[in-house]
Amino acid sequence: MFLTIKIIKMNCQLCQKESDAYREGKLPPDMRIQVEAHLKECEKCAESYRLQALAERVINQEKEIRSNPFLSTRIMTRIENIETPGYETFPAFRRILNPALITVSMAAAILYGVMVGNIYQSGQSKNSIPVELALIDDATIESVNTLSNE
């Protein structure tokens, strides 16, 4: 019995197409040998293979992140409360509330500053001399002593 080895003409396109299977160890031996030989010779394919391996590593690490163990409980609680009027609108309401509150607070602060400024200004005007007194010319008024001596 003779063992038949399939000779494949390896090129960059084929190598990149088979790189996933090569990394996962799913290639038949003859193809695996061909891909390995090509990766040793071709720097472009070798670089491409390293970048693919990097992407796979990042994806695998993200896959390992586990969700909160109480997530299912939270979901069930929300489903149970789903008939409560207005309950489902609350999360959306909260998403709008934060920016709206910030805007209203800013407007209130500006308005407050303007009001305080106005009160301060009107307070100052109360300390000024009344019009009637301002019109009196001291030089033309007779002295009180003169009047009392008469």
Partner 1 sequence: MGFLHHKEDAEDLTQEVFIRAYQSLSRFKGDAAFSTWLYRIAVNASLNKVRKSSKNLILQHLDKLFGGEEVKEVPLPASDTEDPENILIQKEHVEWVRKALDSLPENQRTAIVLSKYDDLSQKEIASIMNTTEGAVESLLQRAKKNLREKLSTKRKNI
Name the site residues for partner 1 (rule: CB under 8 A).
Answer: 16-17, 20, 47-48, 51-52, 54-56, 58-59, 61-65, 67-68, 71, 74-75, 78-79, 82, 88, 98-99, 102
Taking the C-alpha atoms of residue 102 and residue 84, their distance in angstroms, rounded to an integer, is 29
Of 66 and 126, CB closest to partner 1: 66
Of 96 and 136, CB closest to partner 1: 96
Nearest C-alpha neighbor of 43 from the set 85, 75, 12:
12
Of 63 and 126, CB closest to partner 1: 63
CB of 59 to partner 1, least distance (A): 5
CB 57 within 8 A of CB 51: no
Nearest C-alpha neighbor of 52 from the set 15, 105, 3:
15
